[in-house]
Amino acid sequence: MNIFIYILIRNILPLVLIIIIGFLLCKKFNLDINTLSKINFYIYVPFFIFMQIYSTKLPKEILRILVFVVMLAIVNALITNIISKARRYDEGFKNAFTNSIMFYNSGNIGIPLITLIFTSGPFLINGKTPYLVIALTTQIVVLIVQNISTNTIGFFNAGKGNMRWQDSVKSILQMPTIYMIPLAFILKASPFRLENMPIWPSLIYIQNGLISFALITLGAQLSKTKLSFTNIDVYLSSFIRLLGGPFVAYFILKVIGITGVTAQTLMISSAIPTAVNTALIAVERNNHADFASLAVMTSTILSSFTLVIVVFVSRILFPL
Which domains are seen in the chain, by residue range? 2-317 (1.20.1530.20)
Please measure the distance between the N-terminal and C-terminal CA atoms of the chain and give it in whole angstroms: 22
Per-residue model confidence (pLDDT) at position 33: 84
Per-residue model confidence (pLDDT) at position 84: 92
Per-residue model confidence (pLDDT) at position 11: 66
Closest CA relative to residue 33, chosen from 159, 218, 244: 218
Question: Would you call 130 helix, strand, or coil by DSSP?
Answer: coil
Helix axes 132-150, 45-55, angle to 10 degrees: 140
The Cα–Cα gap between 270 and 113 comes to 12
pLDDT in tens, the chain (320 residues): 566 677 677 667 787 888 899 999 999 999 998 888 889 888 988 898 888 888 877 767 788 999 999 999 999 999 999 999 999 998 889 989 999 999 998 876 788 788 777 877 677 777 777 888 788 888 888 888 888 888 788 877 776 655 565 666 676 677 788 888 889 989 998 988 899 899 999 999 998 888 888 888 888 888 887 777 788 999 999 999 999 999 999 999 999 999 999 999 999 999 998 988 888 888 888 788 889 989 988 888 888 889 888 988 998 999 88
The Cα–Cα gap between 136 and 99 comes to 25
Whether 103 and 278 have beta carbons less than 8 Å apart is answered as yes
Whether 240 and 43 have beta carbons less than 8 Å apart is answered as no
In this structure, which amino acid lies at residue 136?
Answer: L
